[in-house]
Amino acid sequence: MDRTAWPRKVGILGSFVAFALLTSVAHASAATVMMPDRIALKSTPVVVWGNTHQANGTAFSLDCGDGEALVSGTVGDRSYISRSCTYTVVGTFTATLTVGAETATAKVSAVDPAAMTAFDLRSARINMAIEDGLRFLYFSQINRAANFDSNKTSWRSTSNESFTNSFSALATLAIQNHGHSVTADPAKDIFQPVVQRGLNSIFDKLVTRDLTPCDETHGTSHDNPCVGVPAPANIALSNTPDSRDGYATPILAAAVAAATNASPTRTVDAGLGSANAGFVVGRTYSEILQRIVNAVSWGQSDSGLGEGGWYYNLQAGSLSDGSTMGWSMLGLIDSGAAGAIVPAFVKSEFTKVLTHQLLASGSMAYQATGPDQGNVAKAGIGLQGLAFSGATTADPRTMADIAYLTRNWNSTTDSQDFVCSGGSPTNTNKGCGYAMFNIFKGLKLLGVTTLPGIGRPAGPGPIVADDWYADYVDNLLANQHLPSDPTRGEWSTAAPSMGWSCCETDTTGITAMAELILAPVAFVLPDPVLFSTVGLAPATATNPVGTTHTVTATAESSTHAPVVGATVVFKVLTGPNAGQTGSSDTDSNGQATFTYSDTGGAGTDTIQASIGTLTSNIVSKIWAVADCDNPVVTLSAPMYPLDHGLRSVSIAVASPSITAICQDEDPNFENIAAYSIDGGGLGTNTAQVRAERSGTRAVPGNGRVYHIFFSTPSCSGEVKVAVPIVAGGSAVDDGALFNSVTGGACTPPR
């Protein structure tokens, strides 16, 4: 099938072309905006929707674009105008919302499940689940219609402020982790105002904490959490102080970190800060984030078995709780990726409580004071803690934790009876958003891709057996609610059910967790500019036909911090191997690799990587026929400027070995010892030659020509590399006269 007609979205396991983030412009007061482009399955209803800032009562029409009758009338709820469309033929259609004289459009690409591979169909379903889940988060904002023009939004009305703030922050984070940045154009991205209003709600409710004298004693150490902020340096920001500010504050940090990663110098608008007397106004997102990090750092417990941990309220003395530890690590890791400074003492202190709470079984105790036997959710938090403290998969504690998860992956009970309220299947893992998300974070941080023995078969496509993440995705696809209903698309405890945890059943929280797990990153998104310009390497390379090639994708935040646990999808776009794909997660250096074999013969492949909606630069791979008489030569960099630096020369033949390097100019023409050797790489498959030539501007000479001799198991040959008189010019070959390696006379090999 023709994938070029698909919408420019990508699921975490998909292989679709993605789009770059939109640029920021001022919001138009009367803008009419449509949903993002999306995929639809032939003959299956999907929701198309939009909004308008024109007044209720304005005439509107909503057209599916496929010949179905228009839905028209007068606007009754300008914040959400929707309809269901059923596309009965394959193709790309333009859905159009017209309100008064304004129009907005979105592309809907209908595909035929019967004509798709199982892998492509699964990828399409992932994209659809993401879009419908995000739509539900948009739809379920508290008082959405009444607050449409306000500057704040939130989710889940409750008597406990921390719950409202926590679930609102998770929803805001989930939307951002699917590429809807606070810097996007609100006239084109319908989610950008929601993200901005969600962040504004966080800023408005943060409270100031005076950390004077700007230090905190932990046991025998003396630690300073007040780092990285201008005066007053002793002021930190945290969630509204109540019995759960230790639970909510790091979740707020995660949402702010995603925005800071996109725009660290963006400032908080006037009129916000009702809980902090306007302290936040005019301050940059990076400063706000750092002050929240300082509050979380200061909030570590400082005595007893709980020293170094976190509890439901900040600075809880000797208490430590697994849930708050998990959220604290999420907030701090996200914040560090977005450029915030996490004080060094935080990790060293945390190792103390981790020692007390990790269990011999491989799980982690609910609290440091115990006793209990842990559960899979806490095992996931334990994995995060091990990764946070620097442990690897080779650490015996890590191996024990992974083994515990493997044993209990499909269990319906555990030693602490942590059965998820309303989850399906009714167990302690799949079907429980809280457990899934904590395990997801832990395994992603440590780069674990499979759990041998959990029983998920291989497939479809390249998915290997016992892929734990694919098992999670299967569960999420099976448990989403009525995505073709304009008011649905959520995950909740109603059948088919997903739970939150043992103790909560909040639909916003469950849906946000599902969307975060379906996102391409466990933490913040990479910087889109860096990824789109230098995210994939090498830029070009040449190999003999029938061999293999490896490309490396690098994911970094705007501060060049590595983004760990991002799922990178690689695809050969064009060339003899077009269509080959692969995926892997970024490691602790923010890097992921893709190796593929040339099965298509000679020619040039183009390759691109994607992380969610972000796409990398496109690189090239030349597959050349192994012929000593017609080798293909590739330089690592141009010969100009003449900086005396060495350039690598690769020769596309089978198993080449450099036997001699000669040149037509005396290597000692400048009498500079440092430059007297102009060649290297003998006995290897890559030659090194120097970017220089004799001559001056007045008497430029005729350029330099290197003669590189090589042999293979079946033949031998010679290639020539010129250093021209001027950039873009030519060089005259006077013969292989001088040895570039020794400086003596050249003796070409026989």
Q: pLDDT tens digits, residue range 10-54?
A: 332 333 323 222 222 333 345 999 999 999 999 999 999 999 999
Is residue 98 included in any domain, yes or no?
yes
| pLDDT single digits (tens) 703-713 | 999 999 999 88
Structure tokens belonging to residue 603: 């020619």
- Whether residues 324 and 406 share a domain: the answer is no
- Whether residues 263 and 146 share a domain: the answer is yes
Whether 503 has a pLDDT exceeding 50, the answer reads yes
Where does a domain end: 476, 509, 524? 524
C-alpha distances (whole Å) from 417 to each of 375, 505, 667 are 8, 17, 78
- Weakest mean pLDDT among 130-134, 218-222, 481-485: 218-222
d(CA 147, CA 158): 18
Angle between helices 507-518 and 433-446 (to 10 degrees): 30
| pLDDT (0 to 100) of residue 49 | 98
Where does a domain end: 117, 150, 166? 117
| pLDDT (0 to 100) of residue 271 | 96
CATH, residue 726: 2.60.40
- What region, left, alpha or beta, does residue 65 occupy, with left being phi > 0 and alpha being psi -120 to 50 degrees? left
| pLDDT (0 to 100) of residue 563 | 87
Handedness of CA 193, 195, 201, 206 (dihedral sign): negative
Is residue 14 included in any domain, yes or no?
no
* Residue 101: CB atoms within 10 Å: 10
The DSSP annotation for 646-671 comes to EEEEEEESSS-EEEEEEESS-TTTT-
d(CA 426, CA 603): 53
Is residue 462 included in any domain, yes or no?
yes
- Whether residues 401 and 413 share a domain: the answer is yes
Instruction: Kindly state the percentage of the chain with pLDDT values over 90.
Output: 64
Average pLDDT, integer, range 253-275: 96
- Whether residues 97 and 157 share a domain: the answer is no
Structure tokens belonging to residue 169: 């922050």
Is residue 59 included in any domain, yes or no?
yes
Q: Is the preceding peptide bond at 425 cis, omega within 30 degrees of 0? A: yes
Higher pLDDT, 69 or 633: 69
- Whether residues 163 and 106 share a domain: the answer is no
> Would you place residue 504 in the very low, low, confident or very high pLDDT band (cuts 50, 70, 90)?
confident
- Weakest mean pLDDT among 47-56, 320-329, 561-570: 561-570
Where does a domain end: 624, 655, 683? 624
Provide the domain count of the chain: 5
| pLDDT (0 to 100) of residue 652 | 78
CATH, residue 540: 2.60.40.10
Instruction: Kindly state the percentage of the chain with pLDDT values over 70.
Output: 91
- Whether residues 322 and 277 share a domain: the answer is yes
Average pLDDT, integer, range 289-295: 97
Radius of gyration of the chain (CA): 29
CB 235 within 8 A of CB 291: yes
Is residue 378 included in any domain, yes or no?
yes
Is residue 748 included in any domain, yes or no?
no
- Whether residues 176 and 265 share a domain: the answer is yes
**Which domain, by its residues, includes 157?**
140-343
> Would you place residue 534 in the very low, low, confident or very high pLDDT band (cuts 50, 70, 90)?
very high
- Whether residues 551 and 690 share a domain: the answer is no
d(CA 616, CA 551): 12
| pLDDT (0 to 100) of residue 426 | 54
| pLDDT (0 to 100) of residue 177 | 94
Three-state SS at 166: helix
Average pLDDT, integer, range 285-305: 95
Average pLDDT, integer, range 424-438: 78
- Whether residues 43 and 145 share a domain: the answer is no
pTM above 0.85, yes or no: no
Is residue 353 included in any domain, yes or no?
no
d(CA 430, CA 101): 49
| pLDDT (0 to 100) of residue 578 | 94
- Whether residues 639 and 594 share a domain: the answer is no
Is residue 128 included in any domain, yes or no?
no
C-alpha distances (whole Å) from 458 to each of 118, 471, 570 are 12, 10, 20
- Whether residues 99 and 73 share a domain: the answer is yes
- Whether residues 113 and 56 share a domain: the answer is yes
